[in-house]
Amino acid sequence: MANVVVVGAQWGDEGKGKIVDWLSERADIVARFQGGHNAGHTLVVDGTVYKLHALPSGVVRGGKLSVIGNGVVLDPWHLLSEIATLRDQGVEITPDTLMIAENTPLILPFHGALDRAREAASQAGTKIGTTGRGIGPAYEDKVGRRAVRVGDLADRDVLAARIDRALVHHDALQRGLGMGPVDRDALIADLLAIATDVLPFAGPVWKRMDDARRAGRRILFEGAQGALLDIDFGTYPFVTSSNVIAGQAATGVGLGPGAIDFVLGIVKAYTTRVGEGPFPTELLDEDGQRLGERGHEFGTTTGRKRRCGWFDAALVRQTVATSGMTGIALTKLDVLDGFARLKLCVGYDLDGTRLDHLPTAAEAQARCVPVYEEMEGWSDSTEGARSWNDLPGAAVKYVRRVEELVRCPVALLSTSPEREDTILVTDPFED
């Protein structure tokens, strides 16, 4: 039996939620290993739509343990609100079905205030496109050793000491941005008020995961965002504040790298991006508009319209390498139905030099012109296809060419938001 990491291979929004839910049927544990509630997963199960942000996708499936690992930053108020929403939809969430690492850093209200103030103060061209939910500042506090963590909620004196340490830093920042100091006592009171609701879920996730692995339990590691938003290997500085690539899965829950057996990269059949930053294959024409409308390209978390473009094989080839992907899950193939011609980016032209990868510097990335390879499109529908025989010949050729260009085989092919509309080539848990 294999333990599987699922990671987005583009800028996020690749359809990870559906794939994770589909795979969770085979898993015993679904563990979230990085990110905050700035990412969203939309799941459609038996006609019911679930929108998740902080919780792992496994919570909507009974009999699974869902885990929020130490690699996540967690807004406790949002967590409780999300739990309440899902309970109203009939989902059972208890300490038996959800466990939160006690060393998970918390996102506090001043993190969000700082996030939004910085973005508002940024000049045109320097804005990151943050959701303003405090994820970046919370990760800064983690690295700066001034974070308040889930386990700190159990002791008022410890909590107060952690808050005091953080406010030495944050009060000075807020003054510099023209904001008043944080109300220390009110914040402590607010945290203590929710502690009794949060702490029953807290525990040593690393130990639970180690015990599960030794017992042969199947673990599905779930990330947020996409690999091109990785703090080290993404389109920096227009990235998220954590490591998104597959290597973070082990660190983010307290396991060693030997716990990872299969890395599944989720790849959309075209390319989208939310927020600022370079996007070589972006389409600002009717084709881009058509992709956005057919793909319903609006963010789960913010509702922001996503930028759309042709498939960038050069970028996905990079993420295949940096995450060590074993196979890819190709999603939203049906959005390409009806295009007479399709384009695949195979590299870039940078000031007259041909590149097979995106350069590191943001300024150089912005000057890259995509080099395209064209393919014949198809007129027949691929929506709902559940076998290769259901696909038009041109669609099969497109998928095969994607495999060649990104240097990774297709393990799953998704043809609609419905979980059953999936063509399974390789079961990652049986690899």
- Residue 420, both tokens: 């059953």
Give CA separation, 131 vs 52, 124, 195, 292, 304, in Å.
16, 17, 26, 20, 10
Catalytic residue chosen out of the listed positions 13, 115, 230, 334: 13
Q: Residue 283: which of 355, 342, 361, 236 has the closest Cα? A: 342
In contact, 239 and 47? CB cutoff 8 Å? no
> Cα 385 vs. chain centroid, distance in angstroms?
26
Task: Judge whether 41 counts as a catalytic residue.
Answer: yes
Residue 28 falls in the annotated catalytic set: no
Peptide linkage before 280 cis (omega within 30 of 0): no
CA dihedral (302, 303, 308, 311) positive or negative: positive
| Active-site choice (41, 53, 111, 170) | 41
CA atoms of 105 and 74, how far apart (whole Å) = 6
Q: Which DSSP state fits 168? A: H
Q: Residue for token digits 């395209």?
A: 372
What percentage of the chain's residues is helix, strand, coil (to nearest 5)? 40, 20, 40
Q: Which residue type sits at 104?
A: T
Residues assigned a catalytic role:
13, 41
